[in-house]
């Protein structure tokens, strides 16, 4: 019982002196493995962090001496200490000096933990593998017991972060986020007796403060979509300069813009615009951009992009942007990434998936100042050649399967037509001519912790900006140069404090790192001077970074009793893709062998998108539309004739088996075949209900869609989604183009919304969906996809999207009724094909 395990905890504390909870009389018990976790930052005799995992009604506890690290290469000592009561999860405040553990305590992180197995058995074995879902810590972790030395009394373990999508090599979350997630206070605030910020509970029990119950962090962390608190400013992902774009199908390429990098935060109609360094520039860009952002169909969102001025030639110009800011001219905000959406931490998803969601949000904003930054899959060198010919700055290449990682790394690579970067202004030479303020600027950059001269720039000025710049520099005058060397002895130089940053375009570097043929473009007030370094292009590796060679799987005849056979051999066939129900990679292949006879006509020779979970659905997931190195030859590729984008498709069961080998847990398909890409042959309406709506309402809405389609003379077929709702599919003769199909589906969904606004919405945002069912028509655009009939889903229960008869709704069918290994799915595979008449029912859709 939990009471017995708290004996040591009670013996160490005098509860007449400390405000720590005693845990006496607590009735909390655990019925399932896992539960809440918390991490307390504890400024006792030595600062440390206490990791606490709920088990058996108490909190297992480890004192992590140097704190947790998101870097998998860091192994942090964690000393196993006495169990703490469950009520301790919400504790924050001062433990009196002289008492055990005396010092300030803040609730540094909280959430839920999910063990990878039986916690008690792993504790006994000395290796606890688990997943954290917190505000600061996420992903897979390990606690590993160390062998004790002779006479040693401490129970020492190591806390190690797994190398997954939540890992952040080289980053220090302890420095980046020192505050409490409960009150916003630091341990220094607690020690000084400072109160929590307005609107947050006080750690010191101030009158009127609302305490956080131990169940609260669990409720928020287990809330799924919409449960993650919107973060503050997120340090941006930055591109590394290389001489040429990376090579490989995993890369997509975007135009490099010449403007201000801006992170926009949208919350309940309020918009805040942050620069790359986190400065609030909300009032700098006029009213049209904030108004357009506030009008987007979202409740909360964080988007990343660049505010620019588009020139007459279609390019962007930083100098034109500065002029526009002075005159209030027209600005454009190119959006290229989505980091947070209505309580979901999108930044952890693959870039391809983030951009697809961003595209949908911007679908109705095409006529305003907001533009979606398109990407291309043609070879990066080809694209760089095109943009240079057009007079643009260059190309940013991004890994389509990578999450959003802060700081400068190799997920984003920039390649430029001309060299261009920021430099610190260290001084200037005054003009000898009447009417001009400057002859040249003296530039520098940081190297090895000190400033180094980069030469002078004497072009790019005009009478106005030269005078304004000189006035600002004269306010920063200092006695001597801020760097050593010959350039510090220029005759007539006026030296200034190295605080202003200039954008400079130049031809090349000399061997001494001095600029050649430089031209001033403008001041960069969004970038701090102490971050300016020389951006010397790296030599590009194949694919931009060094990668291990992929080994193709072996081949052998395989069959599991179904009608399909494959020559694809699975590696790690016992790998659990759905750990919660024990469904393995081999189980998925065996299911598809049974389903292939019914699935084949819907999936072959169609462009596909894949949801991959190589480590199982509880680990990182990747949304993939293009080929990767080592991909099986049965997964075929073709070029989209419209934009040259690479498309994936299969022609045989070998192709589907290769997708299984590749860790694909969902197969999504276009609404057209590769033989007729621009004439869709289906319409899909995805009924997505708000949380809390009962199954009866969802079934009634699905029948309503069927009835309205039949009134228009269109056939309607039903399949389960494997998730919360149903899919209604209309088979078409491939005659109308995408514009006609998307316009029809949009108008149909809007008509349902207008007819019964209390029941339906055609708006994407979660706010609009409250208490209603979203008639999702967005699956019907060119390049949009929907989950294939008979495809598995990336849900914990290994559910499947199954075609069914309409009569099944009368029998109270659930949207997630079918799962791999379940009796209902086996029955469906043996029953008469519910979609046997699908092809004969096709109708032409007219404009």
CA 187, 190, 196 angle in degrees (round to 5)? 105
Contact between 398 and 376 under an 8 Å Cβ cutoff? The reply is: no
Helix/strand/coil (H/E/C) assignment for every residue in 102-133 = CEEEEEEEEEEEEECCCHHHHHHHCEEEEEEE
Cβ-based neighbours of 624, under 8 Å, separated by 6 or more: 350, 352, 400, 401, 609, 610, 611, 612
Helix (H, G, I), strand (E, B) or coil at 801: coil
Cβ-based neighbours of 329, under 8 Å, separated by 6 or more: 309, 323
Contact between 516 and 543 under an 8 Å Cβ cutoff? The reply is: no
What is the token pair recorded at 232? 């503050």
Catalytic residue among 136, 161, 256, 355: 256
Q: Which residues pair with 456 in a beta bridge?
A: 442
What is the token pair recorded at 576? 């659990």
CA 178, 189, 209 angle in degrees (round to 5)? 100
Percent composition of the chain: helix, strand, coil (DSSP 3-state, to 5):
20, 30, 50
Contact between 319 and 326 under an 8 Å Cβ cutoff? The reply is: no
Q: Which residues pair with 280 in a beta bridge?
A: 274
Per the listing, tokens 């990668």 go with 547
- Shortest CA distance to 648 belongs to which of 461, 769, 788? 788
Cβ-based neighbours of 175, under 8 Å, separated by 6 or more: none
CA distance 349 to 623: 8
256 catalytic per annotation: yes
One DSSP character per residue, 226-291 reads T-SPPPS--PPEEEEEBSS---STTEEEEEEP-SEEEEEEEETTEEEEE-TT--B-TTSS-SHHHH
387 burial via Cβ count (<10 Å: 0-12, 13-18, 19+): buried
Measure CA of the first residue to CA of the last residue in the chain; give whole Å.
70
CA 535, 540, 546 angle in degrees (round to 5)? 120
CA distance 387 to 375: 13
CA distance 334 to 355: 13
176 φ/ψ angles, rounded to the nearest 5 degrees = -70, -30
Which residue pairs from 71-76 have beta carbons closer than 8 angstroms and sit at least 24 positions apart in sequence? 71/161, 71/167, 71/168, 71/169, 71/170, 71/171, 72/160, 72/161, 72/162, 72/163, 72/167, 72/169, 73/169, 74/160, 74/161, 75/158, 75/159, 75/160, 76/158, 76/159, 76/160
| HSE-up of residue 445 (Cα within 13 Å, Cβ side) | 19
Pairing of the two strands 260-267 and 508-509: unpaired
44 C-beta neighbours (distance < 10 Å), count: 17
Q: Which residues pair with 138 in a beta bridge?
A: 133
Contact between 606 and 673 under an 8 Å Cβ cutoff? The reply is: yes
Cβ-based neighbours of 10, under 8 Å, separated by 6 or more: 22, 24
Query: Which residues are identified as catalytic?
Result: 256
């Amino acid at each position: 019982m939990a009471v017995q395990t708290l004996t040591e905890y009670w013996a160490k504390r005098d509860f007449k002196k400390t405000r720590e909870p005693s845990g006496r009389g607590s009735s909390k018990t655990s019925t399932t493995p896992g539960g809440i976790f918390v991490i307390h930052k504890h400024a006792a005799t030595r600062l440390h962090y206490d990791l606490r995992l709920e088990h058996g009604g108490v909190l297992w506890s480890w004192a992590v001496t140097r704190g947790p690290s998101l870097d998998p290469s860091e192994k942090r000592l964690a000393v196993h200490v006495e169990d703490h009561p469950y009520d301790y999860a919400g504790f924050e405040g001062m433990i009196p000096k002289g008492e055990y553990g005396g010092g300030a305590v803040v609730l540094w992180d909280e959430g839920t933990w999910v063990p990878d197995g039986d916690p008690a058995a792993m504790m006994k074995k000395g290796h606890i593998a688990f997943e954290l879902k917190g505000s600061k810590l996420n992903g897979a972790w390990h606690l590993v017991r160390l062998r004790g030395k002779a006479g040693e009394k401490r129970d020492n373990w190591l806390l190690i972060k797994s190398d997954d999508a939540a890992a952040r090599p080289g980053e220090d979350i302890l420095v980046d986020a020192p505050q409490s997630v409960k009150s916003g206070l630091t341990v220094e605030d607690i020690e000084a007796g400072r109160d929590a910020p307005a609107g947050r509970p006080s750690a010191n029990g101030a009158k009127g403060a609302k305490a956080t119950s131990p169940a609260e962090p669990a409720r928020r962390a287990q809330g799924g979509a919409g449960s993650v608190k919107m973060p503050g400013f997120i340090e941006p992902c930055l591109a590394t300069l290389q001489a040429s774009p990376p090579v490989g199908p995993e890369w997509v390429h975007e135009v490099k813009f010449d403007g201000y990098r801006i992170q926009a935060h949208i919350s309940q109609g309020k918009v805040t615009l942050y620069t790359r360094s986190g400065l609030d520039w909300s009032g700098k860009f006029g009213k049209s951009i904030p108004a357009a952002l506030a009008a987007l169909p979202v409740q909360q969102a964080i988007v990343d992009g660049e505010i620019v001025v588009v020139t007459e030639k279609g390019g962007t110009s930083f100098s034109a942007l500065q002029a526009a800011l002075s005159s209030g001219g027209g600005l454009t905000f190119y959006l290229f990434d989505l980091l947070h959406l209505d309580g979901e931490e999108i930044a952890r998803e693959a870039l391809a998936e983030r951009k697809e969601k961003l595209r949908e949000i911007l679908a109705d904003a095409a006529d305003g100042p907001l533009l979606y930054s398109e990407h291309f899959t043609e070879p990066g060198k080809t694209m760089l050649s095109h943009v240079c010919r057009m007079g643009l700055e260059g190309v940013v290449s991004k890994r389509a399967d990578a999450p959003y990682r802060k700081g400068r790394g190799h997920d984003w690579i920039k390649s430029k037509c001309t060299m261009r970067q920021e430099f610190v202004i260290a001084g200037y030479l005054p003009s000898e001519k009447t009417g001009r303020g400057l002859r040249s600027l003296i530039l520098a950059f940081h190297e090895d912790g000190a400033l180094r001269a980069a030469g002078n720039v004497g072009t790019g000025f005009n009478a106005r900006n030269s005078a304004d710049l000189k006035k600002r520099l004269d306010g920063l005058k200092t006695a001597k140069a801020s760097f050593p060397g010959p350039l510090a002895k220029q005759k007539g130089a006026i030296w200034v404090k190295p605080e202003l940053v200039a954008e400079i375009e130049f031809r090349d570097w000399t061997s001494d790192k001095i600029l050649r043929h430089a031209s001033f473009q403008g001041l960069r007030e969004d970038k701090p001077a102490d971050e300016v370094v020389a951006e010397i292009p790296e030599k590009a590796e194949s694919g931009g970074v060094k990668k291990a060679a992929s080994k193709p799987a072996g081949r052998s005849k395989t069959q599991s009793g179904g009608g399909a056979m494959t020559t694809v051999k699975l590696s790690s066939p016992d790998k659990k893709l759905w750990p919660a129900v024990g469904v393995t990679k081999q189980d998925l292949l065996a299911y598809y062998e049974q389903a292939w006879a019914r699935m084949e006509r819907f999936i072959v020779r169609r462009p596909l998108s894949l949801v991959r979970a190589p480590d199982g659905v509880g680990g990182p997931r990747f949304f993939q539309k293009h080929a990767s190195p080592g991909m099986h030859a049965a997964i075929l590729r073709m070029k989209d004739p419209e934009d040259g984008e690479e498309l994936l498709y299969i022609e045989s069961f070998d192709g589907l088996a290769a997708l299984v080998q590749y860790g694909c847990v969902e197969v999504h398909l276009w609404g057209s075949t590769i033989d007729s890409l621009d004439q869709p042959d289906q319409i899909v309406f995805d009924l997505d209900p708000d949380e809390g709506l009962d199954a009866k309402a969802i079934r009634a809405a699905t029948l309503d869609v069927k009835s309205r389609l039949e009134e228009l003379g269109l056939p309607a077929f039903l399949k389960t989604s494997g998730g919360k709702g149903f899919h209604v599919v209309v088979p078409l003769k491939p005659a109308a183009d995408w514009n006609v199909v998307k316009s029809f589906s949009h108008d149909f969904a809007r008509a349902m919304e207008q007819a019964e606004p209390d029941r339906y919405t055609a708006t994407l945002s979660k706010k609009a969906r409250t208490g209603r069912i979203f008639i999702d028509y967005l699956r019907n655009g060119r390049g949009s996809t929907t989950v294939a009939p008979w495809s598995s889903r990336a849900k914990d229960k290994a559910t499947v999207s199954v075609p069914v008869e309409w009569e099944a709704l009368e029998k109270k069918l659930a949207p997630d009724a079918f799962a791999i290994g379940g009796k209902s799915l086996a029955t469906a595979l043996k029953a008469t094909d519910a979609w046997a008449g699908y092809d004969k029912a096709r109708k032409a859709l007219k404009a």
